[in-house]
Amino acid sequence: MEFRDLKKQYQMLKEEIDQAILDVVKDGNYILGTQVSQLEDELSEFSGSKHCVCCGNGTDALILALMYWNIGPGDAVFVPDFTCFASVTCILTRGAEPVFVDIDLKTFNMDPNSLEEAVLNVTREGRIRPRVIMPVDLFGLPADYGRILEIARKYSLLVLEDAAQSFGASINGRRTCSFGDISTTSFFPSKPLGCYGDGGALFTGSREIADRLKSMRFLGRSVADQYDNINIGLNSRLDTLQAAILLKKLRAFKEYELDCVTRIAEYYSSLLKNVVSIPRIPEDFYSSWAQYTILLENEAQRDSLKDYLSTLGVPSAVYYPRPMHLQKACEGLATPLVSLANSVHASKCALSLPMHPYLTDEEVEMITTTIIEHIG
C-alpha cells in the first residue's frame, strides 16, 4: 500500500505523459517552452485568478512574493505555528520575523482570533512592523479567508496565501489561489496537483505584479533585453518537462481526481466518526484533501497506532511532529506573543492516513478496521 500512489496515477496517464515528455525532448526547448505559458493560462483559468506565474518550487514562490513587497528586517509576517517549515524559512531568508499564530484544532488552520491577538500585541510592543499575513491551507482545506481578509483590511496588512497543499479547494465556489494579494502553490510530487520533481506558481489579479514576478523568477531580466537586468530576482523557472507533465495531470485532476479524493475522505469519515477526531470541513468549504489527518487522544496513542499500522504494511505520517516555535532554527526569535497550545497539541496527536485518488474502498476498510481494533 502506498501513502500517495504516484505509480498507479502514472499507469493511468502513462500514454499521455510519455508522449508529452517525448514532445519536449524532440522540440529541445527545455526552459520556458510553450508548455509553460500554456500551463499558466490553464492554471489561471482554473483558479479564477487573472494571472499565473510558474516558478521552480513553492518555497521560491513565497520568497518571490515577499521580495516583490520588499519585506525584510523589521517586518512582521504572521504565520501558523503548525505548518511545514517552508512557510517559515522564506520569512527568515528575507530577514523578516515570523510571528507565530495558533491554529483551530477543528480545521488545523490559522485561528483568526489568535491572529488578531498577535497583530495587536505586535503593534502594542512596537518592536517590529506588522506587514503580511501568511495563511497556510493545511491538508487541502482553505483557511478562513472571510475573517482573515477582514483582519487584513482592518490593520492594513497584505495577505500572502500559501496554498501549497490546497490547490483545487474552494470556499463558496471560489477556488484557492485567488484569495491573497499574491497567492502561491506547490507542485511537489505529493501535492494535490504534483509534477515529477519540484515546481511552484504564483497567482495575482494584477498584470503589473505578474509582469514583475516573471522578470524576478529569471534573475530579474528585462523582457526586451535578456542582458538588461531590471530587478533583483532568483533563478527559479519551471522546466518545460514539468509543465508538459502538469498539463496532462491537470486534466485528470479536474475531470475526476478531486471527486475521487472527496468520496474517499467521506468514506473514511463515515467509518471513523465515532472512533477518533476526524477532519472537519466547514459549511461551504471544499477540501482538495492533500492529507486525511485524524487526531488521537495523546502522543502515546498516536505513536502506538502509527507503529501498529506499520507492522501491517499501512503507511502513515506525522505532519508535523514539532511546531515552528520549537524548531532549532527559531531558537533566537522573540518569545511567542500568543498561546500556541493547539499547535503543540496537534504536533503530538495528529496522524495522516493514506490518501490519493486511486485508494480503493477495500483499502480504506482495511485501514479503518485496523484503527478501530487497535484503539478499541
User: In whole angstroms, what is the distance from residue 167 CA to residue 175 CA?
Assistant: 8
All cell numbers assigned to 47: 483558479
Question: Quick one: 291 and 201 in the same domain?
Answer: no
CATH of the domain at 20: 3.40.640.10
In a domain, 362, yes or no: yes
Question: Quick one: 171 and 153 in the same domain?
Answer: yes
User: In whole angstroms, what is the distance from residue 205 CA to residue 210 CA?
Assistant: 8
On whether the CB atoms of residues 60 and 214 are closer than 8 A, the answer is: no
Average pLDDT for the chain: 97
> Which residue blocks in the chain are alpha helix, DSSP H?
6-27, 34-47, 58-68, 86-93, 112-125, 145-154, 207-216, 240-252, 258-272, 299-311, 341-349, 361-375
User: In whole angstroms, what is the distance from residue 324 CA to residue 321 CA?
Assistant: 10
H or E stretch at 292: strand 292-295
The answer on pLDDT for 225 being more than 90 is no
On whether the CB atoms of residues 243 and 8 are closer than 8 A, the answer is: no
CA atoms within 13 A on the CB side of 83: 32
Residue-wise pLDDT for 241-295, tens only, equals: 999 999 999 999 999 999 999 999 999 999 999 999 999 999 999 999 999 999 9
- List Cβ<8 Å contacts ≥24 apart for 251-259: 251/16, 252/9, 252/12, 252/13, 253/168, 253/192, 253/193, 254/46, 256/357, 257/192, 257/357, 258/168, 258/192, 258/288
The answer on pLDDT for 58 being more than 90 is yes
Number of domains in the chain: 2
Which pLDDT score, from 0 to 100, does residue 224 have?
79
Question: Quick one: 300 and 224 in the same domain?
Answer: no
In a domain, 47, yes or no: yes
In a domain, 38, yes or no: yes
User: In whole angstroms, what is the distance from residue 93 CA to residue 209 CA?
Assistant: 21
Q: Which amino acid is at 301?
A: Q
Which pLDDT score, from 0 to 100, does residue 226 have?
80
Question: Quick one: 32 and 159 in the same domain?
Answer: yes
In a domain, 262, yes or no: yes
- Give me the residue label for grid cell 514532445: 23
- Give me the residue label for grid cell 490593520: 155
Which one of 225, 249, 273 terminates a domain? 249
Which pLDDT score, from 0 to 100, does residue 162 have?
98
CATH of the domain at 263: 3.90.1150.10
User: In whole angstroms, what is the distance from residue 293 CA to residue 158 CA?
Assistant: 30
In a domain, 1, yes or no: no
Residue-wise pLDDT for 112-169, tens only, equals: 999 999 999 999 999 999 999 999 999 999 999 999 999 999 999 999 999 999 999 9
Domain span at residue 264 reads 256-375
Question: Quick one: 215 and 293 in the same domain?
Answer: no
In a domain, 63, yes or no: yes
In a domain, 56, yes or no: yes
Sheet hosting strand 174-175, strand order edge to edge: 174-175, 170-171, 285-286
Whole-prediction pTM: 0.97
In a domain, 234, yes or no: yes
Which one of 249, 266, 282 terminates a domain? 249
Question: Quick one: 83 and 138 in the same domain?
Answer: yes
| Ordered DSSP codes for 45-98 | HHHT-SEEEEES-HHHHHHHHHHHTT--TTEEEEEESSS-THHHHHHHHTT-EE
Question: Quick one: 30 and 129 in the same domain?
Answer: yes
Question: Quick one: 199 and 115 in the same domain?
Answer: yes
The DSSP bridge partners found for residue 54 are 201
Which pLDDT score, from 0 to 100, does residue 376 have?
73
What is the number of other CB atoms lying within 10 angstroms of the CB of residue 191?
23
Distances (CA, A) of 333 to 73, 92, 127, 278, 329: 13, 10, 13, 34, 9
pLDDT (average), residues 312-322: 97
The answer on pLDDT for 67 being more than 90 is yes
Q: Which amino acid is at 352?
A: S
Which one of 186, 217, 249 terminates a domain? 249
Question: Quick one: 296 and 234 in the same domain?
Answer: no
Question: Quick one: 54 and 121 in the same domain?
Answer: yes
User: In whole angstroms, what is the distance from residue 37 CA to residue 216 CA?
Assistant: 16
Question: Quick one: 275 and 175 in the same domain?
Answer: no
pLDDT (average), residues 18-35: 97
Question: Quick one: 320 and 262 in the same domain?
Answer: yes
